[in-house]
Amino acid sequence: MDIIRVHGGRSIGGKVHVSGAKNSALKLMAATLLAPGATTLTNVPNISDVHVMGKVLKGMGATIEVADEHTLVIDTSTVDSWEAPYGLVAKMRASTAVMGPLLGRFGRAKIAMPGGCNLGARKIDMHILGLEALGVSFDTDHGYIYANAEHGMTGSLVSLEFASVGATENLIMAAVRANGTTTIDNAAREPEIVDLANMLNEMGAKVTGAGTPVVTIEGVEELHPVTHQVIGDRIEAGTFIVAGALAADDHGLEVTGFNPHHLGMVIKKLELMGVRCERTEDGLRVWRAPHLRPVDIQTLPFPGFPTDMQAQIMILNALADGVSVITENIFENRFMFASELQRMGANIRIESHHAIVHGVPALSGAQVVSPDLRGGAALVVAGLVAEGTTEVSAIHHIDRGYERFCEKLTAIGARVERDAIPDPEED
């Protein structure tokens, strides 16, 4: 059982480069199913979720060449199965992203019910309702979803009840091979969706409006393989920016490899808290805030404040001079992180989907458990400024989305180590 041990009280500084976006790379990998042949993806993060998606594609007949640590050549010309392997898909919710491409290529798909972080219901009702509007029929049985469009899909107007990222992506990937024109109303606007649409258009698709609430897709006969670079991971960038706001030295911490426009609301809130941020050519420089002001947050779909940055901002509010309220509107279980931060001395009260945070002078090192991907990384960041030593366990969650997290922190001056400890259940 691996843990991350963090020794608090050290300043950080210099430069840290973020990896490619997890939430983009996974969907781009799924999209390669639409274009038989070898598609090359560059700037792919070397993380466990990407490894799982690679196994999903291989399980359906694809071959994957690892050209270098961050470049994958995915050849889908030999894919002959429209069934995603149950054991892999159940591990990761992003695996539902293969549904749209399989429908586009084969007119059928068999997908396990999604897994991943325990953040709540994560219903895929909107995926199903949207695809039904294109003429897809569905059946569920024994943990599987069966989708059938053997007679082809027909473009239609799809109005999403909520601006769901996954539903928007699945609909776009299915609609590129539908007959006629599909319009998605109330589409999600996340940068990762723009990245997906850009790659599909490079493949020969006709997608317009990505990044706006109305996306239009004109179906095409076929798509061809391309070479495409994954965008930088804005959430990894935001995690390091919060680390800099807590612990950067007088020269600041420069976070590179991402587009600061993708973190507009996060940067705005940090500046309101008293954090000095300066945009650079390839990212952002941030300095430690000597006095943090509390600021209220509510998570919303892009361009609102991202739910994936809620745990990180909670650390800043926990050390701010006053009271703040954090409202979680996306995932009902996201406050599991708060109870772990309380073990480090934070003063947080949960009321339904609100966290009332009373700032304290300091945090103390403690043994804590990573509740999910972002919460786990946030606990490591909290340990940077906690008094004493913090041990974070269940770090397999962190491995799902952060490449070489400990090494990157060590390189900017943090005292962080990864260690294997015996599992008490094996004694």
Q: How confident is the model at residue 140 (pLDDT cuts 50, 70, 90)?
A: confident
Query: So what's the pLDDT on residue 122?
Result: 47
Report yes or no on 225 lying in a domain.
no
In the predicted structure, residue 303 carries a pLDDT above the cut 80: yes
Residue 276 marked as a ligand binder = no
In the predicted structure, residue 112 carries a pLDDT above the cut 90: no
Beta-ladder partners of 148: 108, 137
Q: What is the mean pLDDT of the chain?
A: 93
Same domain, 182 and 84: yes
CATH of the domain at 188: 3.65.10.10
The tens digit of pLDDT for each residue in 264-292 reads 999 999 999 999 999 998 999 999 999 99
Residue 308 marked as a ligand binder = yes
Question: Is 247 strand, coil or helix?
Answer: helix
Strands 389-393 and 367-369: parallel
Residue 204: which of 30, 24, 31, 35 has the closest Cα?
35
CA distance 36 to 350: 50
Residue 179 marked as a ligand binder = no
Q: What's the structural domain count of the chain?
A: 2
Same domain, 343 and 372: yes
Same domain, 10 and 49: no
What's the longest Cα–Cα distance across the chain?
64
Same domain, 166 and 111: yes
Q: Is 94 left (phi over 0), alpha (psi -120 to 50) or beta?
A: alpha
Q: Within a 10 A sphere around the Cβ of 241, how many other Cβ atoms?
A: 30
Query: So what's the pLDDT on residue 118?
Result: 44
Same domain, 259 and 200: no
In 294-366, at which residue ranges do the beta strands (DSSP E only) sit?
297-298, 323-327, 347-351, 354-358
Report yes or no on 87 lying in a domain.
yes
Q: How far does CA 334 lie from the centroid of its chain?
A: 14
Q: How far does CA 283 lie from the centroid of its chain?
A: 18
| Domain final residue pick, 220, 255, 280 | 220
Same domain, 265 and 364: yes
CA distance 41 to 47: 15
The tens digit of pLDDT for each residue in 57-99 reads 999 999 999 999 999 999 999 999 999 877 776 666 667 889 9
Range 119-136 average pLDDT = 78
In the predicted structure, residue 143 carries a pLDDT above the cut 90: no
Report yes or no on 227 lying in a domain.
no
Same domain, 46 and 173: yes
Report yes or no on 119 lying in a domain.
yes
Residue 22 marked as a ligand binder = yes
Residues ≥6 apart with Cβ < 8 Å to 299: 305, 306, 307, 310, 327, 328, 329, 330, 334
User: Which is more confidently placed, 420 or 184?
Assistant: 184
Q: How confident is the model at residue 117 (pLDDT cuts 50, 70, 90)?
A: very low
Active-site annotation, residues: 117
Query: So what's the pLDDT on residue 113?
Result: 72
Range 331-344 average pLDDT = 89
Same domain, 116 and 183: yes
| Domain final residue pick, 176, 193, 220 | 220
Residue 259 marked as a ligand binder = no
Strands 227-229 and 2-7: unpaired
Same domain, 256 and 211: no
The tens digit of pLDDT for each residue in 218-230 reads 999 999 999 999 9
Same domain, 149 and 275: no
Same domain, 252 and 289: yes
User: Which is more confidently placed, 357 or 330?
Assistant: 357
Look up the domain containing 265 and give its range. Answer: 2-19+232-420
Same domain, 115 and 261: no
| Domain final residue pick, 220, 247, 274 | 220
